[in-house]
Chain A
Amino acid sequence: MAVIDEERATRPAGPADPTRRDGDESGPSRPDVQRPDRSDLLKRMKKVDPDTARKYRQRSGE
Chain B
Amino acid sequence: MALYGIETEYGIHVEGKGAADLVAESRAVVNAYCGTFASPWFYRGEDPRNDQRGFHARRLKYDPDDAKFDDPSAPPLPVEEERADHVLVNGARLYNDHGHPEYSTPECATLADMVAHDKAGERIVLECARRREAEIGAAVKIYKNNTDFHGSSYGTHENYLMGRARPFGEVIGALVPFLVTRIIYTGAGKVGIEPRGKSGTYQLSQRADFFTEEASVDTLHRRPLVNTRDEPHADPHKWRRLHVIAGDANLSEYATALKIGTLLLVTELIDAGWFPTNIKLYDPVKSIKEISRDSAYEWCVPLSNNRRMKATDVQRVFLDQARIEFAGRGGDTDWVLGEWASTLDALDADPMQLSGKLDWVAKKSLIDDYVAADGEPWDDYRLQALDLAYCDIDPDEGLYAALVDAGEMVRIVDNAAIDKAMTVPPTNTRAAIRGALVSKFGGSVGNAGWSQVVLRTDAESWVADLDPFLTPALVAEGLDRMARADTLGELIERFRG
Q: Interface on A for B, CB 8 Å cutoff?
A: 1, 3-5, 8, 10-18, 20, 25-28, 30-31, 33-36, 38, 40-42, 44-46, 48-62
A contact patch SS: loop
The one of A1, A20, A35, A54 in contact with B300, judged by C-beta atoms closer than 8 angstroms, is A1
- Within B89-126, the residues touching A (CB, 8 Å) are 97-100, 111-112, 115
B22 in contact (CB, < 8 A): yes
With A13-B346, A27-B111, A27-B336 in contact, do A33 and B407 touch (Cβ < 8 Å)? yes
Q: How many residues of B contact A (CB 8 A)?
A: 91
Q: Is the CB of A56 within 8 A of B411?
A: no
B313 in contact (CB, < 8 A): yes
B52 in contact (CB, < 8 A): no
A39, closest chain B residue (CB) = B373
Q: Is the CB of B307 within 8 A of A4?
A: yes
B356 in contact (CB, < 8 A): yes
Q: Is the CB of B334 within 8 A of A26?
A: yes
User: Closest 9 A-B residue pairs measured CB to CB?
Assistant: A27-B335, A61-B154, A13-B349, A53-B384, A14-B345, A50-B382, A60-B63, A58-B148, A59-B99
The one of B48, B148, B348 in contact with A56, judged by C-beta atoms closer than 8 angstroms, is B148
Which A residues are in CB contact (< 8 Å) with B399?
41, 44-45, 48
For A4, A18, A38, A62, the residue with the greatest tally of chain B CB atoms inside 10 Å of its CB is: A62
With A4-B307, A56-B149 in contact, do A45 and B346 touch (Cβ < 8 Å)? no
B412, closest chain A residue (CB) = A28
Q: With A and B bound together, what is the CA distance between A57 and B149 in angstroms?
A: 8
B151 to chain A, nearest CB (A): 9
The one of B19, B63, B338, B348 in contact with A18, judged by C-beta atoms closer than 8 angstroms, is B338
With A28-B257, A52-B389 in contact, do A58 and B154 touch (Cβ < 8 Å)? yes
- 18 inter-chain pairs at a CB distance below 8 angstroms, sorted by A residue, are A5-B313, A13-B349, A14-B345, A28-B115, A31-B410, A33-B407, A33-B410, A41-B369, A53-B388, A54-B149, A54-B384, A55-B13, A56-B11, A56-B13, A57-B19, A59-B63, A60-B153, A62-B220
Q: With A and B bound together, what is the CA distance between A33 and B413 in angstroms?
A: 15
B49 in contact (CB, < 8 A): no
B69, closest chain A residue (CB) = A59
B387, closest chain A residue (CB) = A53
**New contact pairs (14) apart from A28-B335, A44-B399, A60-B221, CB-CB < 8 Å:** A1-B296, A4-B309, A8-B313, A11-B316, A25-B331, A28-B413, A38-B406, A56-B148, A58-B19, A58-B99, A58-B148, A59-B63, A61-B152, A62-B9
